[in-house]
Amino acid sequence: MTTFFGGAKTFPAKLFLGDPSGKFKESPQEAFLADALSEDTDAVFFDADGDGDLDLFVTSGGNESGFGSPDLADRLYLNDGKGNFNKKKCTRTFYRFQQQQYCQTDRHQ
């Protein structure tokens, strides 16, 4: 089992990996440190790239950053299959659904 705790502004999110005995160990993620200025408001694990492992989509919010600030951008982190999450650069199409933007990802890349 994997557990994600979103971070408040200036506090990076935390990821904990569970073992078969039910114990959890923190799994440091450089990508979360790099996005510590974002305030995490929600998150969901799902297989974004179709490779069989769970990736992570995190939404951002808060009132400490100005309108249009990059700190408010939602983020998609792709799992490399070993529990390391890397931020997917979203430079193409965004879909809007219930006030959230979702990055299009090509499952064949």
Separation of alpha carbons 42 and 84, rounded Å: 20
Q: Give the pLDDT mean for 24-48.
A: 94
Task: Express each pLDDT in 43-102 by its tens digit.
Answer: 999 999 899 999 999 999 888 877 778 888 889 999 999 999 999 976 544 444 444 445
pLDDT reported for residue 73: 87
Partners of 92 in the β-ladder = none
